[in-house]
Each structure stands twice: as C-alpha cells, then as structure tokens.
Chains A and B, each alone.
Chain A
Amino acid sequence: MTEAAASSASLARAEARARARRRSWSWLVPTLYILFLMLPIYWLVNMSFKTTNEILGAFSLWPRNFTLQNYQRIFTDPVWYWGYFNSLIYVTINTVISVAVALPAAYAFSRYRFMGDKHLFFWLLTNRMAPPAIFVLPFIQLYSSVGLFDTHIAVAMAHLLFNIPLAVWILEGFMSGIPREIDETAYIDGYSFPRFFVRIFMPLVASGIGVAAFFCFMFSWVELLLAKSLTSVVARPIASVMTRTSSISGYELGQLAAAGVLTIIPGALVIWFVRNYIAKGFALGRV
C-alpha cells in the first residue's frame, strides 16, 4: 500500500467527480431547446381550450374554464370543415401531379445529355426564387377567362409552378445516386423501358419519391396567397376561412387557435410517415 496506489485512487475519484459534473449539465441545453421550441405550440393548444374572454382577460398557463366549444364549432360548421377538405383536396392533387410529372423529368436530367440540359435544370430552380405574389394577377385573369376560377384544380396547378421544380430537383439527386449500370443490366436482361422504370427503378428511388411528395405537400399546404386569391366560395382553403373569425367584437381568438391546432395535424402526420426518408434527403444535400 503505497503512495502510488493512493494517488491513483484519488485520481480515479477526481475523474469520476469530473465525469459526474459533466453529466449533470448535459441535459440542460437540449431541454432548453425543446422548451423554447414547444412553447408557442403549447400556447396555441392552451388557447384553443380557452374562451376568448379568458384569453383576453387574464394570463393563465393552463385553461381555467376548460372548453371544447371551439373545436365543436369547427366540426359542426360546414364552412369550417370544408375549409380543411378543400385544402386537402388541392394539396393532394398537387402532390400527385408534381411527383408524376417530376419522375420522368428527373430521370431525363439524371440520365441523358441534351442541348441546354444544365441551363434548363438551373432555370427550374429559379422558379422557386420567384415570389408567388407576382404570379397572382396573371393567374386570376387566366383562370377566370377559362372558367377555372374557384376550383381545386386551379390552386393545385398554380402550386405546380414551384412544386414541380422542387420535386425534379430532389428526385434528380436520388436518381443520380443510382448507377447507370443498373439501367443497362435491366435492358440487357430484356426489360422494356416502362417495365424497368416501374418494376426496378421506382422502388429504388422510393425514398426520394417520399421526400419529394412530403415537400410538395408541405409547400402547398402552407401556401396562402395564391390559394386565397384563386378561390372565393367553393374551393376556399382553411387559411382563408380562418380570416372569417373577425367580427364586430374583434377576433375570436379561441376559435382561431383551435383551427390552428387542426392545421398542424396533417403536416405532423406526413412528417411521421416520411421521417426516415427526410434524413436521407438532407444527407444528399438536395433538400
């Protein structure tokens, strides 16, 4: 039993203490991060269960008079719940068309060389840089003159303007990651192009299709300006319906909050389904 043993023991103790100290603080940053991140969402949910009077009257961390009235109104009033249906309809149409059109386009960009292919690919991207506002007027005029104003397809088509380039861009990244030799092997094996594309190629880029569909869904779902301007009654999206809550007595804040909570749900559901693919999309640097 010597000095060396004693000092090494004390050293080990010091190390253990240091480790404990480090461990004791490691939870802090993520907790704060999540806290700040969730606070506005909590506040929205909190508000949705309060009456407008309570929201305006007092500061309360949780509903004093818990009420489901806000939700009840949304689920019983056709104007409200049709707002959601309308949004979902045009978002779905838009996502389906975007992916269906982008698949062959992305394949062409990824596999073939043609005149101006690089310029065309870049030009697609610039479509995303243009603010939707500048397209509002031409779209309204154009759709009115061909009788498409206030239809779901009108909004869906307007959103294609920025969703197709995005989907092409994402899918091209995924497709270029697949060796061309797989295509050739399929042809050598005797596959015709359509059969190869559907049987062999699409399963290979399934995660890319998932990511592209997710982003088309998201962008179409949150886009307000075009959706609102191109509709009036029949195809009115939820975001537009929400502006209804202003009345002589001011905004019905509880109602708005409840509508807001319901708007988050579809996006959250979609994220849940494609969460594994999104990471892959980010890793490819295309999202």
Chain B
Amino acid sequence: MIELLNVTRIVDGETHIRDVSLRLEDGTLNVLLGPTLAGKTSLMRLMAGLDQPTSGAIRVNGQDVRRVPVQKRGVAMVYQQFINYPTLTVYENIASPLRVARMARATIDEEVRRTADLLQLGPMLERMPHELSGGQQQRVAIARAIVKKAGLVLLDEPLANLDYKLREELRAELPRIFAESGAIFVYATTEPTEALLLGGNTATMSEGRITQFGPTIDVFHRPADLLTARTFADPPLNTMPARKAGAGFELEGGAVVPAGALAAIADGNYTLGFRAHHLGLMPQLPGAVAVETTVEISEITGSESYIHVRHGGSRWVMLAPGVHNLDPGTAVTAYIDTRRILIFDTNGRALAHAPGLAA
C-alpha cells in the first residue's frame, strides 16, 4: 500500500503537483489519466523516489519513505521512451536488477529465462538492445521491471511510442502479467480508451491535481466534475449552457430538457454535458431532445462518422453509425439522448443524477 498525503511539488516557482492525496492498495491496477503536462510523470517520479515532494508525506505500508533513497524503495519503472542499457545484451539488461541484488547465478539465469519467455524475448537474449525493434526494446524494459518483483510498478505511457498492433497486444498482456505479482501497478496514459480497456481504478489528473479517483467505470459514468468529465472523454465532451426554470433545462435555441428527478434543484444557470455517442442523427429513444445544428465538417472512419456540428455558440462532436458525408453548412436535426446527460453547476461540480437517469 502506498499513500500520498497532501503532496505538493514546486519546481522553480511552478507547481507541478498540487495537494495530491491518494491511496493505492496492493494488487491493484491504477490508471493515471490526464492530458500531457497534467502531472502524471511528476507524480510517478514522486512515488518512485526520484523526486522529493516540496510538502506532504509519502508512506509505503505506513512507513514514511521520503528519506529512503531510490535504490532501496523497491520500485520498478518503465518509461515512454525505450530505456535500456545500450552496452549490455538483452540478457544482461534483464538480469541487471538481480545482479545488483547479488542473487545466485543459477537463480538469475532461471528468472531471466522465465521472464524473457513470458515476453517472447527468448530468442533475442544475446542481442544488443539497438538491434531490436521498438516493441521488442520496450518489452525488454518491461521484462526488467517484472523480474525485479518490485512492490510498486510504475508504467509511464509505456505503449505510447509503439505501433497500433503491438500496443493492442501488450495492453492485453500487461494486466495479466502483473496481476499475479500482487504489486501495486500504476499506469499513466493520455488516452481515455486505454484507461477503459485496462479497467481497475482510475485517477483523472488535470494541472497537477487529482480530480477524481475510483473504479474506472464509475469515474467514467459518474464524473464528479466537469474537469474530470472532460479529461475522461474521447472524442471531447460536448457541453452547452442551459438555464433551469421549473421542470426543465432550457437550452440555447429554445429546446427544453426535462429535469425529471432534478426538478427540485434551484433555478439558475447550469452546464450540460454529453458524450459524442449520445448525440445522433436519429432519435435513439423516445424522449430524445431535438436540436437544430449546422454541420462544420464530417470525418468518416470506416463504418462510423464523426460529425462536427455547431449549435448556437457551442461546438459538438457527434458519433453517428454509418457513413454520413454531409457538406459543411448543411442544417441537420440532432438528437440528444437525455438519459445520459451530465449536469454541472456553475462551479463545475456534477449534480448527483442526470434527469430521467434512474440509476
């Protein structure tokens, strides 16, 4: 178990990490999700002990580890760039943490070969890292992280520089590989889809802060605030200003979203948010609200179309099944699935339930 208590890190007057408190349990997979510069790497470096917090405490199993040097922390880390020791063979690269730990030669050999087989590096053990492809190099780095059997494994966008196919493959393997180790597994990524595929828990990050932490599916479906919802949305979250009056939210242009269970909340200004696939060209369900929009551009990706539309002052992305090659400027009626609408108050905090959404 690793605990961060009100951790802040300031470098040259710039706040990299702002008052982060987080508690990660043994044997869990935790995703740090956020755009570039959100502080994911900074947070990992603090957990690894490569950097020290300006204030706040870091505890591993209840022990304050701020004075413990990196060498004694029992962590493993994989970087986005493929970092291996260029002058050592693949075998020696994987063996290096064990050699430093002065393990018996036979044990090292056994461990290295077992781990190499796990990552399909068996035939490449005698090669040098630069003779391998990018995916293989990253697998060597991952093998080195596994073989160490560290209690805390940090993966900083490990698949970002790999091509699509390899990424799919490794992403499926990684949780399985680490699951049996019982270690705390921290995985940083910029891609919401990757977080959803990995499962486990997700901490969304924005500007050095953790905006929400919880089971990945919960964070996705019930973001605590607008920032989290925006971070955890790909394509970007669609938003629009709305005014609550009586039993409905009145949108720009006159359409009204029934407030349902939220009829009791105070009248005033709110922000409504909904995802691209909750906006469609056809009423997906009875009760969908129709809004008049103008097409800005449509992108076709195989069997789906991303249609960028404008409604008043808002720009939205619609994910429509099928091929829709709409010319810019075309007027279309779009339907918002109101069951999935997220409602935020003027401070960006989410209200407990969307209208009409029972659970």
Q: Which A residues contact B (CB, under 8 angstroms)? A: 179, 181-182, 184-192, 195, 200, 203-204, 206
Which of A181, A190, A191 has the most chain B CB atoms closer than 10 A to its own CB? Answer: A190
The residue of chain A having its C-beta at the shortest distance from the C-beta of B97 within the complex is A189
Minimum CB–CB distance for B242 against chain A, Å = 47
Say whether B83 contacts A190, CB under 8 Å: no
Minimum CB–CB distance for A170 against chain B, Å = 19
- Chain A neighbourhood of B148, CB < 8 A: 189
Given contacts A185-B77, A188-B75, A204-B87, 6 further A-B contacts (CB under 8 A): A181-B79, A181-B81, A186-B85, A190-B101, A191-B96, A200-B87
User: B76 on the interface (CB 8 Å rule)?
Assistant: yes
User: B63 on the interface (CB 8 Å rule)?
Assistant: no
Minimum CB–CB distance for B94 against chain A, Å = 11
A206 to B86, CA, bound (A): 12
A187 to B79, CA, bound (A): 14
User: B265 on the interface (CB 8 Å rule)?
Assistant: no
Minimum CB–CB distance for B10 against chain A, Å = 16
What is the interface of chain A mostly: helix, strand, loop, or mixed?
Answer: helix
A184-B50, A185-B77, A187-B50 known; A192-B83 Cβ under 8 A: no
Q: Which B residues contact A (CB, under 8 angstroms)? A: 48, 50, 69-71, 73, 75-77, 79, 81, 83, 85-88, 96-97, 100-101, 141, 144, 148
Say whether A190 contacts B50, CB under 8 Å: no
A187-B71, A204-B86 known; A179-B81 Cβ under 8 A: yes
Minimum CB–CB distance for B145 against chain A, Å = 9
Say whether B97 contacts A182, CB under 8 Å: no
- Chain B neighbourhood of A185, CB < 8 A: 77, 79, 83, 85, 141, 144
Say whether B70 contacts A188, CB under 8 Å: yes
Say whether A181 contacts B83, CB under 8 Å: yes
A56 to B38, CA, bound (A): 81
- Chain B neighbourhood of A179, CB < 8 A: 81, 83
The residue of chain B having its C-beta at the shortest distance from the C-beta of A184 within the complex is B50
The listed residue (A184, A189, A192, A195) touching B144 by CB distance below 8 A is: A189
The count of A-to-B residue pairs whose CB atoms sit within 8 angstroms is 52
Q: List 5 A-B contacts (CB under 8 A).
A: A181-B83, A182-B85, A185-B83, A188-B76, A204-B86
The residue of chain A having its C-beta at the shortest distance from the C-beta of B72 within the complex is A190
Say whether B76 contacts A190, CB under 8 Å: no
A204 to B83, CA, bound (A): 13
The listed residue (B50, B69, B81, B96) touching A189 by CB distance below 8 A is: B96
Say whether A200 contacts B101, CB under 8 Å: no
Say whether B81 contacts A190, CB under 8 Å: no
A271 to B101, CA, bound (A): 41
Which of A189, A190, A195, A203 has the most chain B CB atoms closer than 10 A to its own CB? Answer: A189
- Chain B neighbourhood of A204, CB < 8 A: 86-87
Say whether A191 contacts B79, CB under 8 Å: no
Minimum CB–CB distance for B213 against chain A, Å = 25
A185 to B76, CA, bound (A): 8
A274 to B283, CA, bound (A): 75
Say whether A191 contacts B71, CB under 8 Å: yes
- Chain A neighbourhood of B96, CB < 8 A: 189, 191
The residue of chain B having its C-beta at the shortest distance from the C-beta of A189 within the complex is B97
A190 to B100, CA, bound (A): 6
A189 to B79, CA, bound (A): 13
The listed residue (A182, A192, A200, A203) touching B71 by CB distance below 8 A is: A192
The residue of chain A having its C-beta at the shortest distance from the C-beta of B156 within the complex is A181
- Chain A neighbourhood of B88, CB < 8 A: 200
- Chain B neighbourhood of A195, CB < 8 A: 100
- Chain A neighbourhood of B70, CB < 8 A: 184, 187-188
The residue of chain A having its C-beta at the shortest distance from the C-beta of B78 within the complex is A185
A192 to B71, CA, bound (A): 7
The listed residue (B77, B81, B85, B87) touching A188 by CB distance below 8 A is: B77
- Chain B neighbourhood of A184, CB < 8 A: 48, 50, 70, 77
Which of A184, A188, A200, A206 has the most chain B CB atoms closer than 10 A to its own CB? Answer: A188
Say whether A191 contacts B100, CB under 8 Å: yes
Top-5 shortest CB links A-B: A190-B100, A203-B87, A189-B97, A187-B70, A181-B83
The residue of chain A having its C-beta at the shortest distance from the C-beta of B145 within the complex is A188
Minimum CB–CB distance for B332 against chain A, Å = 49
- Chain A neighbourhood of B85, CB < 8 A: 182, 185-186, 200
Say whether A190 contacts B87, CB under 8 Å: no
- Chain A neighbourhood of B100, CB < 8 A: 189-191, 195
The residue of chain A having its C-beta at the shortest distance from the C-beta of B100 within the complex is A190
- Chain B neighbourhood of A191, CB < 8 A: 71, 96, 100
A204 to B50, CA, bound (A): 22
A189 to B83, CA, bound (A): 12
